[in-house]
Structure 1
């Protein structure tokens, strides 16, 4: 992947990164059968936050209260605003709840990263990670929000079903956003801050490597 601009744009030496895309975004490709089943690799957002040395903010964690009780719009907006305010040196936010948050995150972000891997790449990982949560071998989406067998396999609220049915929806939405904010191609000349990272993992690995180099060079 050729980077015509820095791996991250940032502002005033600080990085406020919003990561969007469908669910199940992992930091790097798994290599080998055992890794597929037992890897504890963090998500891309957590890995990026670690590289940058800034807090990682999961919108899922802030949105869901124990027992899968969703925060109201005002409650959620306040939680997210407080989390952003508490990280003046930068942050990495993962997730997209524009229906409740509007452009709160994007307005404050210096960079928007669209992770767009093929469905066949991340769906098996979602299934495996969900099974781990069902068996209480992995952390829940949010504290007090444990997966239940009937909801995972027999409910339209299942994360697995959501990923399958929303893959094309998310891709269409972010394609429109990219046409407006895409680096070097967006129609909004002053608001170009969005990068698309697709493929089966190599492009993501290269980008994370470029981010590491960017941080080390400062």
Structure 2
């Protein structure tokens, strides 16, 4: 995080104690638990059973309903469906958190989480969307592991473009980039926890 961002609170919110947060990356579940607000995983909104994709107009309509439903409480949304989901999330969000760890850090974690889904310890990506060892090991976009390896550069380009277009938090914008090998994310999460504790204490 840049120096200007460090001088700001860990989340901007709407100024009235409501946070509508779009997380590009993982760790959104914990953030929602800390803030005690609903978590909306876009994977579950987009994918129907047997990996059937939701048409873009229907996907956008589903998102609109969820945003309206949780407007007063705030929400945490994760996922990068920019080309499919329309502008509603980017318009409504008070904060955009771009998690940008090195691929050597998050790839082993992704493989481990995928393995836990394969043996039914972790929940499926979306209800009715089963993964198999064969699909995971394929060298195409059916494999979440292959997708992450081949799209890592594209995701970084998108995040950098997002900061340029929407502005980083240190420059009056809403986008906060959190990179590094884990300590930066740990410090930021601890700041969010302190902020939430002070708000309820």
Query: Is it true that 1:198 corresponds to 2:179 in the alignment?
Result: yes
Deviation at 1:106, TM superposition (A): 1.1
Query: Is it true that 1:105 corresponds to 2:86 in the alignment?
Result: no
Equivalent position to 2:43, from 49, 56, 60: 60
Distance 1:85 1:102 in 2: 15
SS in 2 for 1:67: helix
Distance 1:203 1:139 in 2: 28
SS in 2 for 1:61: helix
- Following TM superposition, where does structure 1 have runs of at least 4 consecutive aligned residues deviating by more than 4 angstroms? none
Distance 1:184 1:125 in 2: 30
Q: What TM-score comes out, normalization by structure 2 length? A: 0.91
Distance 2:62 2:28 in 1: 19
Moved more, 54-63 or 2-11: 2-11
Stretches of structure 1 lacking an aligned partner (at least 5 in a row)? 26-43
Equivalent position to 2:63, from 77, 80, 83: 80
Cα deviation digits, residues 74-119 of structure 1 (max 9, x gap): 1111111111111121000001111111222111000000000000
Deviation at 1:129, TM superposition (A): 1.3
Correspondence list, 1:175-194, <5 A: 175-180=160-165, 181-185=167-171, 192-194=173-175
Query: Is it true that 1:95 corresponds to 2:115 in the alignment?
Result: no
Aligned residues: 192
RMSD over aligned Cα atoms: 1.3
Moved more, 148-157 or 74-83: 148-157
